Chains A and B, each alone.
Chain A
Amino acid sequence: MNYSKSQLFWLVTLRVLIGWHFLFEGVVKVVNPNWSSIGYLMDSGGFMAGFFQGMAANQSTLQVIDFINIWGLIAIGLGLILGSFTRIATIAGILLLSLYYFSHPPFPGIKYAMPMEGSYLIVNKILIEMVALAVVFLFPTSREFGLDKFICRKQNKKVE
């Protein structure tokens, strides 16, 4: 793809900052032995609430979810920052964010015990981050600025 220098700069910045956010959300959960997604899942609202609460209801499912959540966040974060396996990381990120979004959709009429730090109607920061990741996916930069430059060398050549 041919981007201008400033387009490239802002696209890489966007990718790295989202990666930073994912990575930090992951590491704070690793270092907190008390962290569990149970509270968040139990507080789910909207049409998928039953699905999420069902996950929390089962102790072994919950353990798997907590594990995937923590290490998923870290892996996605590293992928985005380093620009390695960025396509997979981006898709995984979008999936994870969509789960967060649909567990707490800011739709009119749904109330949550968990306090929100802002005011939202349908659109919230999760949704915006999700769309930003879609942009990162459609305007890839990691083969120019990232480890994918080396990982995808063969592919790069083929493309050339």
Chain B
Amino acid sequence: MTEDLKNIAGESNQKKTGINRRDILKGLIGVPVLGVFAYGWLHKQKLDEAAKKSIHETISLDISNRLDGKVVSQDRQIRLGIIGTGGRGRYLLKAAGFLSPKTLKIYHEEASKNKMDKRYAEFLAQPDLNIVVNGICDIYDVNAKKGQAAAANITREYDETKVGQPPKRYKNYKELLAATDIDAVIIATPDHWHGPMTNEAARAGKHVYCEKPMTWTVAETYEVVKAVTESGIIFQLGHQNRQTESYFKAKEAIEKGFLGKVNLVEVTTNRNTPEGAWVYKIDAEANQNNIDWQQFLGPAPNHEFSLERFFRWRCWWDYSTGLSGDLFTHDYDAMNQILGLGIPHSAVASGGIYFFKDGRTVPDVLQMAFEYPDRDLTLLYSASQASEKSRGRLIMGNDAWMTIDNNLDIYADPASVRYKEKIEAGIIDPAVPIYSYNPGRKQVDAITSPTEKYFAGRGLLYTYRDGQRVDPSHLHIKDWLDGIRSNTQPMCNIHRGFEEAMTAHMGTIAYRENRKTFWDKEKQVIV
């Protein structure tokens, strides 16, 4: 009876409003779920924030954005000459703002076919450095013409009719160095010419941007330093890594003691292609008539004309500095930049020609160990040119270790004393970086997700500066030009060059003479 009455009352109520209390509860079923969601989320947020804060307290993460400190007026135009317009020379021309219409046209076409190909837009976006190329020197006619075509393109057009006059081509670098309409030179020749040309350029009062390594022999290293310092020219060694953003962060992190005491630094080369091993393509059109072989030889021992030696000169000690000068110097300079290593106390080396038995004299597998007893650390270099297993760059301290490429990651060491309490409390996980820096990101994050780390590590994210993808070689040339304009030292100056050259030579001598080499600090000589 009461049941019926209730039903009747309910029905009549429902008829009036269409909704009863039961319906309201049913309709709002999601609300308590949202409540649980909000509670769970807030709780998780609190835990994450506490963990982050705790890590922040342990290591101060406000690593500054120390980049281009100086702002230099670009008003004064600088007149350039370039010696060596092969692959690397033309790359530097591009970084300086000059690309041949032919190449630019290809970039343009590729960009319209593939949206991902941004070379065209990036080249156009590259800031104008207010320079003009007045002279080109290459001993191979084909490369000289290519260099002229690039340097003539002052309008950055891909239409060949719209470019300017090609700069003068000099057949001998001495003539280019004597030219009065050239203030500064870029040297991008084989290694055996770096020293003599820098030396003569400095004596002629030209500022120099020279490709690495600085020198081919120990003796000429002193001459170069003397010529550069005495002439007062602005010298920049072509280690563009000096501009890599993550290295500034790495330096600061180490100075702040995040890693504890650093005792081992490992750098590696891992290549497994003929190009990687310097077996470059030989131009079909190249011959004795369009290559000045005698000028190529220069300070090198005499040898009959050889296209193989001309195009693959890195494979012979006669012109090359091998792995130590060509590839190790990149890593050495990066570590010198980050750790301020200077010249090591001693070096040992071993290796051999184990894979590319093509008549070369330089090894394709090389291990070198450099000792820094004053710093209590060893710098280890290991190179294979027959395996691409990426071994990266590693700086190991007793509290944490750091990996660096374009990105930077610091991992706490499981046995660290400094981070012991945080590790035990579960706040720091040794498997997750305590500090991670990806230049493509908007800001620094305490912990990045494994996924993000993965993307960055695979190079799927770009390197930006002020939101733009930038070529470090462009920044490195700009740094040199800024130095010329403001009469200040660029980032990889002659002193850094001296350290780079001597360190590389110590490794090379240790390998070639099969002995341990030492650096006599007082006499400044290798013994």
Interface residues in chain A, defined as those with a beta carbon under 8 Å from any beta carbon in chain B: 12, 16, 19-20, 23-24, 27, 31, 33-34, 38-39, 42-43, 53-54, 57-58, 78, 81-84, 113-115, 144-150, 153, 157
CB contact between B460 and one of A23, A33, A39, A58 (< 8 Å): that residue:
A39
**Which residues of A are found within 8 Å of B452, using beta-carbon distances?**
34, 39
**Which residues of B are found within 8 Å of A43, using beta-carbon distances?**
455, 460
- Assess whether B303 is interfacial by the CB under 8 Å rule: no
**Which residues of B are found within 8 Å of A144, using beta-carbon distances?**
26
A149 touches B23 (CB 8 A): yes
In the bound complex, what is the Cα–Cα distance between A54 and B33 (angstroms)? 39
Give the most central of B19, B116, B441: most A CB within 10 Å: B116
CB contact between A81 and one of B33, B45, B448, B450 (< 8 Å): that residue:
B33
Interchain nearest-CB distance for B487 vs A (Å): 39
A12 touches B29 (CB 8 A): yes
A150 touches B19 (CB 8 A): yes
Interchain nearest-CB distance for B301 vs A (Å): 48
- Assess whether B461 is interfacial by the CB under 8 Å rule: yes
CB contact between A115 and one of B27, B118, B454 (< 8 Å): that residue:
B454
**Which residues of B are found within 8 Å of A34, using beta-carbon distances?**
441-443, 445, 448, 452
**Which residues of A are found within 8 Å of B66, using beta-carbon distances?**
none
- Assess whether B5 is interfacial by the CB under 8 Å rule: no
Interface residues in chain B, defined as those with a beta carbon under 8 Å from any beta carbon in chain A: 18-19, 23, 26-31, 33-34, 37, 41, 45, 115-116, 118, 441-443, 445, 448, 450-452, 454-455, 458, 460-461
* Nearest residue, chain A, Cβ from B40: A24
B460 touches A16 (CB 8 A): no
* Nearest residue, chain A, Cβ from B117: A57
B45 touches A113 (CB 8 A): no
B442 touches A33 (CB 8 A): yes
A146 touches B461 (CB 8 A): no
A113 touches B27 (CB 8 A): no
Interchain nearest-CB distance for B307 vs A (Å): 40
In the bound complex, what is the Cα–Cα distance between A144 and B450 (angstroms)? 42
In the bound complex, what is the Cα–Cα distance between A31 and B29 (angstroms)? 27
CB contact between A145 and one of B27, B445, B454, B461 (< 8 Å): that residue:
B27
Interchain nearest-CB distance for B223 vs A (Å): 49
User: Given that A34-B443, A58-B115 are contacting pairs, would A81 and B455 also be in contact in the complex, using a CB cutoff of 8 Å?
Assistant: no
* Nearest residue, chain A, Cβ from B18: A153
In the bound complex, what is the Cα–Cα distance between A157 and B116 (angstroms)? 54
Interchain nearest-CB distance for B409 vs A (Å): 15
Interchain nearest-CB distance for B49 vs A (Å): 10
A27 touches B41 (CB 8 A): yes
A146 touches B29 (CB 8 A): yes
**Which residues of A are found within 8 Å of B18, using beta-carbon distances?**
153, 157
- How many residue pairs link A and B with beta carbons under 8 A? The number is 82
In the bound complex, what is the Cα–Cα distance between A61 and B319 (angstroms)? 51
* Nearest residue, chain B, Cβ from A41: B460
A115 touches B450 (CB 8 A): yes
Interchain nearest-CB distance for B516 vs A (Å): 43
* Nearest residue, chain A, Cβ from B444: A34
CB contact between B116 and one of A53, A114, A146 (< 8 Å): that residue:
A53
**Which residues of B are found within 8 Å of A23, using beta-carbon distances?**
37
* Nearest residue, chain B, Cβ from A145: B29
**Which residues of B are found within 8 Å of A24, using beta-carbon distances?**
37, 41
**Which residues of B are found within 8 Å of A58, using beta-carbon distances?**
115
Listed by A's residue number, 7 A-B pairs whose Cβ atoms lie within 8 Å are A34-B452, A39-B455, A82-B34, A84-B30, A114-B454, A147-B28, A149-B26
Interchain nearest-CB distance for B414 vs A (Å): 23
In the bound complex, what is the Cα–Cα distance between A106 and B404 (angstroms)? 32
In the bound complex, what is the Cα–Cα distance between A81 and B35 (angstroms)? 11
In the bound complex, what is the Cα–Cα distance between A38 and B441 (angstroms)? 11
A39 touches B451 (CB 8 A): yes
**Which residues of B are found within 8 Å of A53, using beta-carbon distances?**
115-116
B116 touches A20 (CB 8 A): no
B29 touches A20 (CB 8 A): no
**Which residues of B are found within 8 Å of A16, using beta-carbon distances?**
29-30, 33
A54 touches B115 (CB 8 A): yes
**Which residues of B are found within 8 Å of A115, using beta-carbon distances?**
450-451, 454
**Which residues of A are found within 8 Å of B29, using beta-carbon distances?**
12, 16, 83, 145-146
In the bound complex, what is the Cα–Cα distance between A24 and B19 (angstroms)? 32
User: Given that A81-B34, A81-B37 are contacting pairs, would A57 and B23 also be in contact in the complex, using a CB cutoff of 8 Å?
Assistant: no
Give the most central of B26, B27, B445, B461: most A CB within 10 Å: B27
A57 touches B116 (CB 8 A): yes
**Which residues of B are found within 8 Å of A150, using beta-carbon distances?**
19, 27
A149 touches B27 (CB 8 A): yes
B27 touches A146 (CB 8 A): yes
In the bound complex, what is the Cα–Cα distance between A27 and B451 (angstroms)? 18
In the bound complex, what is the Cα–Cα distance between A42 and B442 (angstroms)? 18
